[in-house]
Structure 1
Amino acid sequence: MRTENKPTIYETIWTSKKCLAFISLVIVLFCFWNFGTELLFKVNPARDSFEIGYGTMFARDSVNQLREGFKIPMNPMNFSLNKYQPPIFFKSIYPSGYIPGENDVKLLEPMLLVFRNSVFTPESVIVKWNGFHVMSLVCHPRFWNASYSKFYNINFITYYKYHSAVCIGHQHTSDFGHWFLEVLPCFFAVPQWILDTSVIVVPHYKKYIVEHLSLFNITEDKIIFAEDTYLYAENLYMMHSNWCGDINQLLIQNMKQKFIEMFKLNREKPSKYVLYNRFNMSREIGNWQEVLDAIRTQHPEYKWEVGYNLITLAEQAKYFNSIRVFFAVHGSVLSNIIFMQKGTSVVELQMEKWLLSFIYLGGFTEVNMIEGRDASIMHIPVQKTNVDALYISRLITKAIEKLEN
């Protein structure tokens, strides 16, 4: 006589688990089908953003174009783009460099991308077995060396693992000008739920990065500062945008609008006339008093004051929002143009290098840009250089005339 075998308690539990797993899968597929991919990205709570382990891999020393990534929605940016205003170049004994005109400025649509299960560096380089993958070699000079094309060279890599990470920028991300004009604007476009559930990865520690990210309720313990480190993220968020001086007009205008709201700007008419020197830094003007005397003699009707460095972003915003005319040799202080009001004037003295970042910034934010050049001023060395004080005074005159037009 045949006897029926009853399932054991362990078999019953196992069968129940399989049923629950199947039901869970059906629910997930239903939600995914009805609510889209955004739900899939939101499931990790904030505590899961931190380190979850480590791993190892091999990678070849080749450099490749990064072509993967899924485009996901950014924060909406609803405003009309300003018409780009080309600068005015006032000739000296030195010729100008390239000056982009109205028809030379092309709008690059920024894109927020997510990469799945990726090993990467803090410089926004994704690493795979066949080598290093970058969106662009611009601002990635460590990958310009021909040695990276040697496929027989194998690197052994150890990496830290995270559920979710945001890594935006390039090799010079932590430098103030690059950070403030190229990287920070991207964060205003990243949805808050991504920032809440991710670690933020940048190459170097800077106090201003910690301060700026606090605008998005990002605490310092969620920021990873690590130059020569490899990381892994199940969800890696990166931005496709302009880098290395070619700033993105859409992101810049959006950030300016956010700053106006945050710091309650544009409520008083600008009235300050400010002259700035890079004391104890590269590109310092040596005959500074002579320059001040020449300008004050030429335009005694204005109260000219010497500019100074401020500590917090809010202080910078209020100060530069009150400036009507501003002068400086090319440098990161000119990033504060973004706080200046429409129709104000900036005089930028270019150096032996001719760089476009602040030309674009003024042109995108409706600030009058007056460009001069003294090619005897070196870009990198920390040294004083004497300049033609009368030439600087004539540049200031042009800036004032532009105000009156």
Structure 2
Amino acid sequence: MDPTGILELRVDSPSIRLYPVPPPTISDDLLAAAAMTPSATSPATSSICLLSGLLSDFTRYSRQEASKWLIDIAHDICDPAQLRGSLLVWKEHQQQWHPVSATDPLTASTYRYELPSGITVGLSKISLRAGKSVSAENGDATAMADRVKGRDGACWISGSHGPLSNGHILPKRMGDHLGRLTFQTFMSSDAPNLSLPSSIYNEVFGVSLSATLDCWFDTYDFGLRHVSPNHYECHMFDTAQVGAVHTIYGEFLGSTAMASTLPVLHGHPASPPQPRHPDNPPAGLFRWHYLQCVLRRFAHSDYKSLANITYPELPIKMEGDSDNEGTDSEAEWPSMALDLGRAAEISLEEHAERQQAVTDWVSTAQ
């Protein structure tokens, strides 16, 4: 197996329908449905390359899941609500397509998502989280942040109790109507009877994260891969600068004691601090967010250049945006940088003390 070889995921163009130009303003559920309903037109090509990259990069995220990871991603791109397609791989030495089993190892090959005869779909739209202009007053963001913090009380990854940011799983610029439709699409196969949230500011769309993790989460550089009920795995899609590593407390130079002692973010477990809370985000929402991380990292230009393939998000900057001046993070105060540095040092000291305690316990037990 050549880890430097290229893996591609494709779909036949006749199975795909393009989206129409979205309404200039999406002010109700009917207009949202119109923006998300494919037309009768297919791309003027034989097939579309959806994802492309080095095999070694893909296996960084598929990990122990093998081909199940790619099958899941292919479903989420092409048919997230009904999962009707199957995955095939091109066997060069046999010159034919073969079905892919969930346990098969990924290979540097061309894969194809095949839908049943007569079934056509629109590909999942891509979220750019773009468009910032004049601030608009909106107390809903602050109220949402308060509810999310009250529900969680700690970061889902580090367990830190503060300072916390409210990470938005779906961007607020998507709006209530597209938010509900996306929720319904990605929840239909997991929990089809779950009631729809009335607003994009509902706490089910939020997750408590440290300020640094929220920045990565907000730009689709970091996502949570669902493992089992209330259990997730952190996946980092951003490439660290040379000599640096991503930890659960931030990015540090690999030569420092901080980097060598703190837990690495990629592969780290995550879970809701209050697993029985009825307003925890459902797994389907993280599934949508994780797909956006994958698309940001691997989406091919064939896919990204399709007509109207991006979400028609609101082009305004709103109070409470964690990716610009206004923020619904409690981590905004004059001495923030110094305080966060002290917090990291304290965490490092506590981690070292725990390690020493374990070492002492092992030595006395021998």
**TM-score (normalised: structure 2):** 0.26
**TM-score (normalised: structure 1):** 0.24
Q: Which has the higher strand share?
A: 1
- Higher Rg: 1
